[in-house]
Amino acid sequence: MITETTLNPQIEEGWKKALMEEFGAEYMKELKKKLAEELESGVIVYPPPKQIFNAFNLTPFDKVKVVILGQDPYHGKGQAHGLSFSVPDGVNPPPSLVNIFKEIESDLAVKPPKTKNGNLESWAKQGVLLLNAILTVRASSPASHRDLGWEKLTNAAIKALSDKRENIVFLLWGKFAQEKESLIDARKHLVLKAPHPSPYSANSGFFGSKHFSKTNDYLFKTGQMPIEWTMF
């Protein structure tokens, strides 16, 4: 049986502290209630409940160096595991992720993975917060959980990073992500913008943006370890 308790966040302590007010807010209670009702009625929702907060748990609040913002999880079976643009081991990288790998190869001369490897957990563990603005989705129904309440939580997460941390790189790809720019204090952080890596827009400026080398240059200049963007 799925209950609201099933959906209680098991979340890293730094994030729990930063988002405490949000988790106690009325909109979160309503969100959990609606999600529990959907799951109980047999609606398939991705990712599985235990992976909804993967981005927060793999990248602790105090360790975030880079934020890559996505819109909502992949809606195909077995693709979503709580990290924006990432898929689990053994799953073919979706087109946007393939284009991300192409830009990394062009920018840093790093070859993309030869096998089915689109799992970006290694990035997350280095401090890359792979955050979707919307944390759940119905199967085969993109953006189906828009306005459920997740945007309030993830906006609060972005603002908390901006307010309480310094020298984070925010990678805003596409119009949706760039709408979050107002939450970020550009005097304290680096904001890099480009079109979305989707096949529909990657040729409009995502390719050639060199965001990965620019990110590492900034991290180095601010006394932080650059990200190892290679994929194994």
First to last CA, the chain: 38
Taking residue 130's Cβ as centre, other Cβ atoms within 10 Å add up to 22
Taking the C-alpha atoms of residue 223 and residue 232, their distance in angstroms, rounded to an integer, is 26
- 93 DSSP 8-state letter: P
Taking the C-alpha atoms of residue 35 and residue 22, their distance in angstroms, rounded to an integer, is 17
Residue 107 annotated in active site = no
8 Å CB contact between 51 and 119: no
Let me know if 26 is exposed, middle or buried by CB neighbors in 10 A (0-12, 13-18, 19+): exposed
- Tell me which of 62, 72, 147, 185 is the catalytic residue: 72
Q: What is the DSSP string of 25-44?
A: SHHHHHHHHHHHHHHHTT--
Two structure tokens written together for 129: 């917060």
96: which strand partners? none
Residues classed as catalytic: 72
